[in-house]
């Protein structure tokens, strides 16, 4: 079983590129801890906010934003590695 991590982003967003690089580095480690703890693994799903008026209204000025579908928690930029790890691993919000 996997849980989606929605990554709200848009083309040409330099902050989104920074967040994605951080995600690429942290997600495998968070999934390792989740597996050891018996939690579902996370699967990253990019969501292009410019393709939806509703998403632009909700996230347009806050991207990049992550949303864990398992608990509807959001994490908006700026975030650093430690905070992102806690958010993804399921042990902090």
- Reported as a single tens digit per residue, the pLDDT across 15-39 is 999 999 999 999 999 999 999 999 9
Range of the domain at 16: 2-89
Specify the number of domains making up the chain: 1
CA distance 56 to 35: 34
CA 17-81-14 angle, to 5 degrees, is 15
Cα Dmax for the chain: 40
What residues contact residue 60 under an 8 Å CB cut-off, 6+ apart? 49
Kindly report, residue by residue over 65-77, the tens digit of the pLDDT: 999 998 899 999 9
**What confidence score (pLDDT) does residue 70 get?**
86
Q: Is the pLDDT of residue 93 over 50?
A: no
Torsion sign, CA atoms 60, 8, 80, 15: negative
Q: CATH number of the domain that 53 lies in?
A: 3.40.30.10
> Residue 9's pLDDT is what?
96
Q: 75-90: per-residue pLDDT in tens?
A: 999 999 999 999 999 7
Q: How far apart are CA 84 and CA 86, in angstroms?
A: 5
């Amino acid at each position: 079983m996997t849980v989606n991590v929605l990554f709200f982003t848009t083309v040409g967003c330099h902050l989104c590129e920074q967040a994605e690089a951080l995600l690429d580095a942290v997600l495998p480690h968070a999934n390792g801890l989740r597996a050891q703890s018996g939690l579902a693994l996370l699967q990253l799903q990019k969501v292009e906010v410019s393709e939806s008026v509703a998403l632009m209204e909700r996230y347009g000025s806050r991207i990049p934003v992550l949303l864990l579908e398992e608990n509807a928690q959001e994490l908006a930029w700026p975030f650093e590695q430690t905070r992102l790890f806690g958010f993804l691993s399921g042990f902090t919000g």
